[in-house]
Amino acid sequence: MTLKQQLLQICNERVDKRINDYKEEIALIKESIESNDKGDSEDDDSGNGKLLNDLEKNLEHLNDAQKTKIYLQNIRTSINSNDVVLGSLVKTNLMNFYISTSIGKIDLEGESYYAISLNSPIGQLLRNKLVNDQFEFNQSKYIIKEII
């Protein structure tokens, strides 16, 4: 398995975990709402209001995670491009970036990679850059050493 395939697999695993976590949280909230509805207290409405709010937030997060999962399916690990595009692995003088989705730091084979979205601030700076191109981010100067 290539390095880009491994990174994509880790991104997919992390998104799958998010999806499962949101589904579990939604199930717990629904269970709590149902048990509150069975209670005979008249003051339970305020508790259900918060639970319904939490349910709505978790449903939104689940929807976003499911969209991310679909987005990851657009990444082709075999792509070879001279410029930075979706699916590129970008090695700079300071950090390594995997252009995919905003997952964060991935440690693999003794190196750190940052899975970022093209829509993120640094992703926007990297978009369409070539080897030896430079850019500044957070007062640090990056030089692109390699694009895989």
**pLDDT of 12-68, one tens digit each?**
999 999 999 999 999 999 999 998 877 655 554 567 889 999 999 999 999 999 999
78 lies in a domain? no
The pLDDT value recorded for residue 82 is 94
Examine the fold and report which residue of 72, 104, 122 is the final residue of a domain before the chain moves on.
72
What pLDDT sits at residue 39?
Answer: 64
Do 65 and 96 belong together in one domain? Answer: no
Which residue among 21, 39, 72 closes a domain? Answer: 72
Residues 6+ apart with CB under 8 A from 111: 96
Tokens of 36: 């509150």
| Dihedral sign of CA atoms 73, 74, 78, 81 in order | negative
pLDDT of residue 22: 98
Looking at the structure, do residues 119 and 60 belong to the same domain, yes or no?
no
Report residue 148 as tokens: 């895989």
Looking at the structure, do residues 32 and 57 belong to the same domain, yes or no? yes
Q: Are residues 104 and 47 in the same domain?
A: no
Task: Output the pLDDT for position 110.
Answer: 95
One domain for residues 51 and 14: yes
**Which string of DSSP letters, residue by residue, matches 120-133?**
SHHHHHHTT-BTT-
Both tokens assigned to 65? 């995670």
Listed in sequence order, the residues at least 6 apart from 78 whose beta carbon sits closer than 8 Å to its beta carbon are none
Give yes or no: residues 18 and 43 share one domain: yes
In tens, the pLDDT along 129-147 reads 999 999 999 999 999 999 9
pLDDT recorded at residue 86: 95
Contact of 128 with 84, CB cutoff 8 Å: yes
- pLDDT at position 43, please? 52
Structure tokens at 144: 């692109």
Q: Are 111 and 142 members of one domain?
A: yes
Chain CA centroid to CA 14, Å: 8
Residue-wise pLDDT tens digits, 87-102: 999 999 999 999 999 9
- Residues 54, 7, single domain; the answer is yes
Q: Tell me which residue range forms the domain holding 15.
A: 3-72
Q: Which of 44, 72, 100 is the last residue of a domain?
A: 72
